[in-house]
């Protein structure tokens, strides 16, 4: 299998494993990824790490050879497949972290954008080169990138097809942190800043943040009030506040 999943204690790790093709995303891989995300969602994992095999690429994007000679219906079906799989990742109940160990182009960058966070090696290169092929991103890149780095920067990157390095990606907010050393180890450390918290409450916080992009501030504040009120009703909130008063570490049970 060109993609596989392993466990590191409470963490799930998905590895794209086609180093000879720079971990390009085939349609078969997308189906495999979809099944793995479903499996992880039903597991007791607390966070997900996603990376690419080898030291050259996270993923260089879609498998271009697969995209050639397809009918209009087939092309749209392929785009909808990619969007639906990455939407599963985006809405996974637990935090997900892309570990960008090299090239993240096209569909590979869209995969990273669908993760909650992105850590990158200093040598990482990111971009949407589709425009150079007479194409545009089709797995959510035109929608997620502007929400992350702003419309002006996203428009420039997509319309020029320019590649940026890790330092620029961090500066514009596309990458959370640049990591010297072992990315998987760094990903574990980063993930464990959150794995002890309540998954339902983490999800509520992410939902409140997401909705701010689609609504006026006033409406977003109303949603935040509703969701923060729901958070207060959880048993985990009671435990968290009780533990604070009792000066001990809380034990969350996802309730």
- Which of 191, 210, 234 corresponds to the end of one domain? 191
Q: How far apart are CA 191 and CA 185, in angstroms?
A: 10
Half-sphere exposure of 228 (CA within 13 A, CB side): 7
- Domains contained in the chain, number: 2
Q: Do 125 and 173 fall within a single domain? A: yes
> Could you tell me if 208 and 187 lie in one domain?
no
> Per-residue pLDDT for 249 more than 80?
yes
**20, 110, 185, 246: the active-site residue:** 110
**Main-chain phi, psi angles of 40, to 5 degrees:** -65, -40
Q: 134 and 167: one domain?
A: yes
- Bridge partners of 3? 16
- 250, part of any domain: no
Q: What DSSP character marks residue 130?
A: G
**Which among 74, 130, 170, 185 is annotated as catalytic?**
130
pLDDT digits (tens, 9 = 90+) for 17-45: 999 989 999 999 999 999 999 999 999 99
Strands (E), 122-172: 125-127, 164-165
> Do residue 182 and residue 214 come from a single domain?
no
Instruction: Give pTM, 2 decimals.
Output: 0.90
* Cα gap 120→135, rounded to integer Å: 26
What is the pLDDT of the chain when averaged over all its residues? 92
**Is residue 130 among the annotated active site residues?**
yes
Residue 54, classified by CB atoms within 10 Å of its CB into exposed (0-12), middle (13-18) or buried (19+), is: middle
Domain termination residue (choose one: 150, 175, 191): 191
Shared-domain flag, residues 162 and 49:
yes
Rounded Cα distance between 3 and 51, Å, is 10
Q: Are residues 187 and 122 in the same domain?
A: yes
Domain-embedded: residue 58: yes
**Within this chain, do residues 64 and 170 fall inside the same structural domain, yes or no?**
yes
Catalytic (active site) residue 246: no
């Amino acid at each position: 299998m060109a993609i596989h999943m392993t466990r590191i204690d409470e963490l799930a790790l998905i590895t794209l494993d086609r180093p000879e093709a720079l971990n390009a995303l085939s349609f078969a891989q997308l189906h495999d990824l979809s099944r793995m995300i479903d499996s992880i969602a039903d597991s007791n994992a607390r966070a997900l790490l996603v990376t690419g095999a080898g030291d050259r690429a996270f993923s260089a994007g879609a498998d271009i050879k697969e995209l050639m000679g397809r009918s209009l219906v087939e092309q749209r079906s392929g785009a909808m497949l990619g969007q639906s799989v990455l939407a599963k990742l985006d809405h996974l109940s637990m935090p997900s972290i892309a570990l960008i160990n090299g090239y993240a182009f096209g569909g590979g960058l869209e995969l990273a954008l669908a993760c909650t966070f992105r850590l990158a090696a200093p040598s990482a290169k990111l971009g949407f080169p589709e425009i150079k092929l007479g194409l545009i991103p089709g797995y959510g890149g035109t929608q997620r990138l502007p929400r992350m780095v702003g419309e002006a920067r996203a428009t420039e990157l997509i319309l020029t097809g320019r590649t940026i390095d890790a330092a620029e990606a961090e500066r514009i907010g596309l990458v959370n942190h640049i990591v010297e050393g072992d990315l998987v180890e760094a990903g574990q450390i980063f993930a464990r800043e959150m794995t002890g918290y309540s998954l339902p409450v983490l999800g509520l916080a992410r939902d409140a943040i997401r909705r701010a992009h689609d609504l006026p501030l006033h409406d977003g504040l109303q949603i935040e009030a509703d969701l923060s009120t729901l958070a207060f009703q959880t048993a985990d909130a009671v435990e968290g506040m009780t533990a604070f008063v009792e000066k001990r570490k809380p034990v969350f049970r996802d309730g």
